[in-house]
Structure 1
């Protein structure tokens, strides 16, 4: 990878509590190429979510450097509005506003960024159609299922056309069938938009299905133990789940995480 769009170099993160310091991340080195979909997988508490919060400048590293689209973050001041506009963030819980319709919830980032044009209006309609939610555009969150909420949370993070998208276990609370369906829809959207996506998950099969590469982490402190390239052709389908090589990838990642920590992610 000659020129990664996101580079994390020798990053450490310490959190101070009243009693002691907690080292959440230790010497993290990661790179993400333009247009890549890369997963970070590992047990709960290994610092996966901390990494994308650092990239999104929600928190600052204790030391080390983060460079995004050629700009190295300054730990003493926030990133620019221009950089914020390039980033999207999808949380574990969609947190839809109950008094807003589906369409209004999706459009919220456009209001925040002051973006208003026919191009963005068309993008709202396109994304709603892509996740089969167009007919619910005027419905309210109370009228939707949990899976529908998650769909809205996902496309809301994409509506302002970010160049880079951070996804923090967006499908973790869903049943297996809904999760698999949304994984395939995410692959379609990614291939169409060409965004760089960092996908956080504790589900090994999900990581292998979605990703071009997978970073495997361990905890106490959070650290990278391996980087694997996933060599399956595109487009990918759920048929891969029954593929022997797919199972071998999953087994390798599970063995890297280790039997003790694996209990936390099953």
Structure 2
């Protein structure tokens, strides 16, 4: 099924995307003929059961996994030409994973500055930029700490800062706060929403949490169990900025119920 055909210029455009792992009798279809577009500055969540192909879709957009068929464009450039990845297409893209993936022998500041070091930016400039990003996500007082001295929430803040330090136009988030306690997750979701709004970054989030998807997103994409097929796209009717009180409203609970129903209908 095809959704979301729009005339405006798209930041991300997924067309007829299919991904099959393996071949013959052992082949597994992870994604089947997916079509999806994101506008510049939009926040979209992918919501679906475990193993339905959400992360695979994210990795193909990021240029980390090759598609079997179909294509992905970022800012008008094709990410894949066959099995060849376009560096130009993925340059504006940054991805944050479920685990922080911080180097334990680096300070927070040096972990955050690492993408700029790889890009051969001079030391002072990259550390100054990393320090500014760290302050934005609440790490001003932890620049010289090692990751092992930080809480799980602080490590994820550092991971988010590292994803943002290159000033990406597209931010891909693979359940970044799923392992955190509810209060820390709420706090980081608020910061994530504020940072993305300030940077006007186009964001795609993979999550299992219906409430998280409803709270953060402009639209929620509902996926069926494997192979991933888009069964519904639900607009979230909430004004921005949003605060946690929104989750207590009747309208919010109604949208959570609608998403839950869409998930059960697609199963």
TM bin (shorter chain): over 0.9
Structure 1 residue 95, shift from structure 2 partner: 1.3
> Is 1:63 aligned to residue 59 of structure 2?
no
Cα distance 1:44–1:111, how it changes in 2: closer, same or farther (>3 A)?
same
Alignment counterpart, residue 110 of structure 1, candidates 110, 116, 120 = 116
Structure 1 residue 76, shift from structure 2 partner: 3.1
Gaps of 5+ in 2: 1-5
What SS class does the counterpart of residue 258 from structure 1 fall into?
A: helix
Is contact 1:44–1:202 with CA below 8 Å preserved after alignment? yes
After superposing on structure 2, the runs of 4+ consecutive aligned residues of structure 1 that deviate more than 2 Å are 82-85, 113-123
> Is 1:226 aligned to residue 227 of structure 2?
no
- In the alignment, the residues of structure 1 paired with residue 207 and residue 160 of structure 2 have an alpha-carbon distance, to the nearest angstrom, of 15
Q: Which residue of 2 aligns with 1:139?
A: 145
Structure 1 residue 114, shift from structure 2 partner: 2.3
Q: Which residue of 1 aligns with 2:186?
A: 180
Q: Which residue of 2 aligns with 1:214?
A: 220
What SS class does the counterpart of residue 9 from structure 2 fall into?
A: coil
Gaps of 5+ in 1: 262-266
Of 160-169 and 13-22, more deviation after overlay is shown by 13-22
Structure 1 residue 120, shift from structure 2 partner: 4.6
Is contact 2:53–2:226 with CA below 8 Å preserved after alignment? no
Cα distance 1:137–1:214, how it changes in 2: closer, same or farther (>3 A)?
same
What SS class does the counterpart of residue 85 from structure 2 fall into?
A: coil
Q: Which residue of 1 aligns with 2:38?
A: 32
Q: Which residue of 2 aligns with 1:78?
A: 85
Q: Which residue of 2 aligns with 1:169?
A: 175
Structure 1 residue 125, shift from structure 2 partner: 1.9
Is contact 1:14–1:23 with CA below 8 Å preserved after alignment? yes
Structure 1 residue 17, shift from structure 2 partner: 6.2
Alignment counterpart, residue 240 of structure 1, candidates 218, 223, 246 = 246
Alignment counterpart, residue 13 of structure 1, candidates 11, 19, 26 = 19
- In the alignment, the residues of structure 2 paired with residue 99 and residue 111 of structure 1 have an alpha-carbon distance, to the nearest angstrom, of 16
Is contact 1:15–1:23 with CA below 8 Å preserved after alignment? yes
Structure 1 residue 9, shift from structure 2 partner: 0.8
Cα distance 1:260–1:233, how it changes in 2: closer, same or farther (>3 A)?
closer
TM-score computed with the length of structure 2 as normaliser? 0.93
Structure 1 residue 79, shift from structure 2 partner: 1.1
Give aligned pairs, total: 260
